[in-house]
Amino acid sequence: MHELGIVYHIIDTLEQVAKDNELTHIDSVTMEVGEVSAVIPDYLTDCWAWASGKNELLRGCRMEVEPLPAVTHCDGCGEDYPTVAHGRICPHCGSERTWLVKGNEINIKEISVSE
């Protein structure tokens, strides 16, 4: 149900964009989904198919999902490294003084509309 909440949030955002730009239909939306965001792309597109079909603005609108790689920064040595492969321990210096730079988020990357 996590994904459905996200889908409603996306729909709210798209409705606002459509209003601001006087769009009557949106054809496709591209999402960036962070590797460690806990969002499952297949669930997201399933929820999307269900929820967008009930919305005039979004009927038939496709959703593309692109993975956004997770990156962690190490304060020990100043390097960045891929989070999924190495977790919280820096592979360069072994420090645990690390924090997630990106990969926990989900963004609307692109919206496409026909004229």
Span near Zn ion by CB under 5 A; candidates 4-12, 14-22, 61-69, 90-98: 90-98
- Answer for which of 6, 11, 68, 74 binds Zn ion (CB under 5 A) is 74
Span near Zn ion by CB under 5 A; candidates 7-15, 30-38, 73-81, 101-109: 73-81
Nearest to 92, CA basis, from 104, 107, 74, 110: 74
Q: Which residues, other chains included, contact 35 with Cβ-Cβ below 8 Å and sequence gap of 6+?
A: 67, 68, 69, 70, 83, 84, 103
Span near Zn ion by CB under 5 A; candidates 23-31, 35-43, 82-90, 107-115: 82-90
For residue 78, what are its two tokens?
């100043």
For residue 64, what are its two tokens?
């593309």
The CB density around residue 101, as the number of other CB atoms within 10 Å, is 13
- 4 binds Zn ion per the rule CB under 5 A: no
- Answer for which of 17, 36, 77, 111 binds Zn ion (CB under 5 A) is 77
Residues that bind Zn ion (CB under 5 A): 74, 76-77, 90, 92-93, 95
